[in-house]
A and B are shown apart, each in its own frame.
Chain A
Amino acid sequence: MPSDIYQVLSEKFGYHSFKVGQEEIIKAVLDKGDVIGILPTGMGKSLCYQLPAYIMPHPVLIISPLLSLMQDQVEQMKLFGEKKVIALNSFLLPNDKQKLLTQLSAYKFIFISPEMFMQPQVLSALTKTPISLIVADEAHCISQWGYDFRPDYLRLGDAFRNWNRPPILALTATATTEVLNDISHFLHLKQPKTVIQSLDRPNIRYKAISTKHADEKYEMILQQINTYEGPGIIYTQSRKKADEYAVKLKDAGFRAASYHAGMEPMDRTLVQQQFANHELEWVCATNAFGMGVHKSNIRQVIHDHIPSSIASYSQEVGRAGRDGKDAIATLFFSSDDEDMTIFISTNDFPDSSQINLYLQQANPKTLVDDGFLSETMYRILTYWLEKHSEVETVHIMENLRHEKIRQIYLMKELLTNSKCIRHQLVSFFGQTLTNTPSNCCTVCGIKDDEVLSTRSNEVLSDNGLNWIERLARIFNIEQH
């Protein structure tokens, strides 16, 4: 082996020890076999391919299903000084793309979206470039049993089949048996070594609190965050609700802002940065807030609804306590919550009449512009109708819808069946838990004040809108 992995770890990353699981995955990758790595969110997944990249001779190709995730990863790598990194996605200008494709070997990390990967000229350039490792990031997206199915991802497998390819590392934070089987099957992995870490996060404590009425929730949230420290995230289901919470909390003296996909990109970046810089204490967000949240000291994550699946719940609460210190995840729910969740999460599956409409139209894209289909519906249909008949597709959509609803009921079941929340979370991912921490969850018993510090009543240092002072501060100029 050219380099000792511990040496690279300290020289390139400044760490002296690995987090659990990382070493095993990295060694398996360096042995040049296919690997499935399962690590909890935010526990150093990317190191598993970044480190081998400094030992292996050729570039590492990272397939990343979400555009925003890709941008974020590239940004983070550049932030830490890695310049030989490039993102091949639809943001690239055609001329730049042409040029880049001829010089792929000059990079160490090549990020690529599944759509881009499937373009013949891109694929041909890639097969001609020596590559040391392919990484399928967020690999659960390949599985329709996963919570974030991306049909585009499925096509990757087809490309891999006809390619004498380098080893694949499939990474995910979510892996039930079905998902694991799908990953292995659709990516055509060859006897993959599976490295599974405990997905339990002992420093996160779980609270599920049922409320009689939906409108009590805000008061209860307010009481919770008035009593215990932030920073934190409040997850809600609609953009409107996120905005409303932010305004109410601001009026109540919190440094709060909303975050959702209806805001323009620059505003979203600003909220992420304010949160990272401690300029904000609370972010009221839809599930769009996830990528780009690089903050290790989140002490609370609050939900005011039943999330759409155990997997997405686990990912959202997983943003708390990445610094290893104690954190609380609180979920407020009322009896009629599941109806709303079902509506929201099945809304994007086209029904038989929409499928028919798609097939009738010479140019179905116009249906999106005219508001008959959502962007997501269009994406789903374009994929499925290419390989399946109308009847089959209707059937598949029915199944997907039922599966979504099943996931929601599983989540509700987890909240209401009076079993330990932590045990259930971990067993959902196919693991059994041996130890539970003190103050585990509302079922096992939890005292908030043993977990969190009380909120110190900070005085908002608000200099109003003095622009002269603000400009001087930006430029770090002493004022006289």
Chain B
Amino acid sequence: MFFEQILLKMIDRLNGERTISAPFHLLRGKKSGQTIQDVKNYGLTDTFSIFPKLSQNKYNHIVKKMIQDQLLVIDQNNIPSLTEKGIQFKDELEPLAINGWLYRGNEMVFFHRLSLLVQTLSHVKAQSMNFIPVQKDEKIQRWIRSFMLKVPYKSPEYAQEVYKEIEKCLNQAPLKETHRQLIVFRLSGFKVTGLTWQQLSFNVKYEPLDVQLLFTEGLHQMLNEICSKNTYPILNSLAEGVQAINPLTESASKTAQLYAVGNSLKAISSIRQLKQSTIEDHFVEMAMNGVWINWLTFFPNENLDDLKREIQTTSSHKLSILKEQFPQLSFFQLRLLLASRGEKDAK
């Protein structure tokens, strides 16, 4: 239910300018220039990357069902819009307390660390150190192993501290009871095994997708609480690197570094063995996030200030419309200009 409402909200924001696949890429947190630009242009930072594992099949299935339920229609250009019923349904959604742009799916890294730590401490306490880790991911296992070398994990007081921090955080963060239940019942310990999504869904009586959404929301709230105060030293360590400090995607970041030391767009493309269009995506992302780029190299013959002013006054974010208006500019140039506008909007 929440999932459908969120989708409606996104489609509404996309203003009839994007196809039905745009929300899918946004939800999965696709790191392409187009999707990143959509995030900023349409103000969709909250839902970015909140379903990194959503499958195309599942998505298509839900969309189809929503069309059947007359919540939305899709035109011949594959562009969705809301029906009257869809608008009503969308408006029933309570505001979400998620920040996908900030956490980008990393909230699960935090939770995986937490769950492995909790499982380990629980077994230490039960003096039964032979157990199968609930987290198979080598990265997480390695992180926790090196973390535990630095803490007195064998002392009962330490386990008590972790317990207290979790309980306090769950109480202090602005959470609903369902959030707390989902997070705690997903954890495992000695002779207590966490529940699967299906089991959680059965118990709290929400659809599996909604359960995952509530779970993510709960984690975001916990992380906001942990990172904004200094009263959770242990949880704070577990949240290391979880918030996106660098607004750029990893790949764009590499491009930015190469650019900063004097390489041209073309040079970067050949150094990194990536298509020029990919590097262009990175430049758009950089422009959007206020990373310095030398505009004159990309607009050698244009009056940049005039262009920026003109683009400011057009309401559309759709490239094909803008291209009609500015036929002399390339798509890349238009995207850079749009990005600069997003930048101003954000400020």
Contacts and interface: CB of A to CB of B under 8 A. Distances in A.
Given A81-B130, A257-B196, A465-B185, A475 B53 contact: no
Given A277-B191, A465-B181, A79 B130 contact: yes
Given A274-B193, A468-B167, A470-B185, A269 B121 contact: no
A104 B262 CA distance: 44
B135 A257 contact: no
Interface of B, secondary structure class, is helix
Interface string A461-472: 000010110111
Interface stretch (A209-217, A242-250, A450-458): A242-250
Interface in B158-182: 159-160, 162-163, 166-167, 170, 177, 180-181
Given A467-B170, A467-B180, A468-B167, A474 B193 contact: no
A266 B199 CA distance: 13
B17 to A, nearest CB: 27
A91 B192 contact: no
A395 interface: no
Contact of B193 (A79, A243, A279, A475): A279
Nearest to B56: A371
Contacts of A250: 202
B132 A473 contact: no
A178 interface: no
Interface string A62-93: 00000000010001000111000000000101
Contact of A79 (B132, B138, B195): B132
B189 interface: yes
A93 B139 CA distance: 10
A270 B188 contact: yes
A86 to B, nearest CB: 12
B122 A267 contact: no
Given A465-B185, A468-B167, A474-B192, A264 B202 contact: no
A273 B163 contact: no
Given A269-B134, A269-B136, A273-B132, A477 B198 contact: no
A273 B125 contact: no
A7 B185 CA distance: 45
A273 B188 contact: yes
A136 B136 CA distance: 25
Nearest to A279: B193
Given A91-B138, A471-B166, A271 B196 contact: yes
A125 to B, nearest CB: 20
Interface in A224-262: 243, 246-247, 250, 257-258
A263 interface: yes
Interface of A: 71, 75, 79-81, 91, 93, 243, 246-247, 250, 257-258, 263-267, 269-274, 277, 279, 465, 467-468, 470-477
Given A267-B196, A475-B118, 19 more contacts: A250-B202, A257-B196, A266-B134, A270-B188, A273-B132, A273-B193, A277-B191, A277-B193, A279-B193, A465-B203, A465-B204, A467-B170, A468-B167, A471-B167, A475-B121, A475-B125, A475-B163, A476-B126, A477-B163
